[in-house]
A and B are shown apart, each in its own frame.
Chain A
């Protein structure tokens, strides 16, 4: 396939991915009644027993499902101090099947960041010295703000707090806070320092997204951190065919999450957007079930089978 044909194919694939992201975003926030002005009404049906796989605030007026990160904290900070087995197990099943595939395909906040990055401005490459340690911040968010603090902290009245949702999450401000405040005058009267703080974080996140590709996903998102833990054991994995790879580095140059698929095809940072697969001129990259085998390994396996049969 020549360079131009590859480019067209990659563009089409990227368009399809964005359409899936947008479609999923609309589908999971399709409770129209919630967007009508007046008293705030959110969906209260049984669908909210189930979490959506991506970041999506359950207080968004249109939300039909629950936020996995919010739900996890709600179980931890409840009075009977749950162990979060339902949500952890549910997310682990998703992680074991597809890893961080959800981040690229079914996360509305991810799509928003990608669209902001399309604004034509000079783009910023975070120096590796800063980028590498910052990547660990999302694990800190997961273990401290989502697991430890909601589980152990109790106020003098015995109530826990969803620390990540309350003090950090810009998704809640964007999808829940802003629409509800705009639609309801009583809520506008209740705005205080917390809303201002969270609004500031949202503005910083939006501004950073114009210059850096998916900064929230790279550095902050606890859900991405959780799914990332399953990348190397998930059913669906990236594969590199070593016999076809000519080490040209085009895949690494294409990856906006700064992953080098030649060295770490199933890095915790890969969101499985498939951009590298479409960019590879040798078709050495693919996505399939399990670690996969190279042509040489397949031949060796077949030869061993033949010897056994004889």
Chain B
């Protein structure tokens, strides 16, 4: 069985992931997501 990452690694990575998420929010990516999601995505449904 392969050795697994200790819990410390997980605990260190969680704030990094949170920081990445916050960075995206600060860059205005939430608005991009919302703008895409509130209109019917023609490509996604096979019409675009």
Which residues of A does B touch, CB under 8 Å? 40, 42-44, 46, 48-49, 51, 57-59, 63, 66-67, 70-71, 74-75, 78, 82-90, 92-93, 96-97, 161-162, 165-166, 169, 172-173, 176-177, 180-181, 187, 190-192, 194-195, 197-199, 232-235, 237, 240, 262-266, 289-291
Nearest-CB residue, chain A, relative to B40: A59
Residues of A within 8 A of B27 (CB): 82-83, 85-86
Nearest-CB residue, chain B, relative to A289: B7
Interface of B is mostly: helix
Residues of A within 8 A of B41 (CB): 57-59, 70, 162, 165, 172, 176
CA distance A51 to B17 in the complex (A): 16
CA distance A190 to B32 in the complex (A): 26
Given known pairs A48-B37, A58-B36, A87-B33, the reply for A198 and B1 (CB within 8 Å) is no
Given known pairs A59-B41, A162-B44, the reply for A71 and B33 (CB within 8 Å) is yes
Q: How many residues of B contact A (CB 8 A)?
A: 39
CB pair B32 A40 closer than 8 Å: no
Residues of A within 8 A of B25 (CB): 86
CB pair A165 B14 closer than 8 Å: no
CB pair A180 B24 closer than 8 Å: no
Q: List, sorted by A's number, 24 A–B pairs whose CB atoms are closer than 8 Å.
A: A48-B33, A48-B38, A58-B37, A66-B36, A70-B36, A74-B32, A75-B33, A78-B32, A82-B27, A83-B24, A85-B21, A85-B24, A85-B29, A86-B25, A92-B17, A92-B20, A93-B14, A93-B18, A165-B41, A166-B43, A194-B47, A234-B10, A290-B6, A291-B6
Least Cβ–Cβ distance between B36 and chain A, in angstroms:
4
Nearest-CB residue, chain A, relative to B21: A89
